[in-house]
A and B are shown apart, each in its own frame.
Chain A
Amino acid sequence: AQSVTQPDIHITVSEGASLELRCNYSYGATPYLFWYVQSPGQGLQLLLKYFSGDTLVQGIKGFEAEFKRSQSSFNLRKPSVHWSDAAEYFCAVVGDDKIIFGKGTRLHILP
Chain B
Amino acid sequence: GAVVSQHPSWVICKSGTSVKIECRSLDFQATTMFWYRQFPKQSLMLMATSNEGSKATYEQGVEKDKFLINHASLTLSTLTVTSAHPEDSSFYICSASRLAGYYEQYFGPGTRLTVT
Q: How far is the CA of A42 from the CA of B9 in the complex (A)?
A: 10
**Interface stretch (choices B14-22, B62-70, B78-86, B102-110):** B102-110
Chain A binding surface, main DSSP class:
strand
Chain A residues within 8 Å of B93, by CB = 43-44
Q: CB distance A44 to B103 under 8 Å?
A: no
- Beyond A43-B4, A43-B93, A44-B93, whether A99 also contacts B46 by CB under 8 A is yes
> Chain A interface residue count: which class?
20 to 34
Interface residues of A in 43-75 (CB under 8 A from B): 43-46, 49, 51
- Beyond A44-B93, A94-B103, whether A102 also contacts B109 by CB under 8 A is no
Interface residues of B (CB under 8 A from A): 4, 9, 41-46, 93, 95, 101-103, 105-110
Q: List 25 A-B contacts (CB under 8 A).
A: A4-B43, A9-B41, A32-B103, A41-B9, A42-B109, A43-B4, A43-B93, A43-B106, A43-B107, A43-B108, A43-B110, A44-B105, A45-B107, A51-B103, A90-B43, A90-B44, A92-B102, A94-B101, A94-B103, A98-B46, A99-B46, A101-B45, A103-B41, A103-B43, A104-B42
Interface residues of A (CB under 8 A from B): 4, 9, 32, 36, 41-46, 49, 51, 90, 92, 94, 97-104
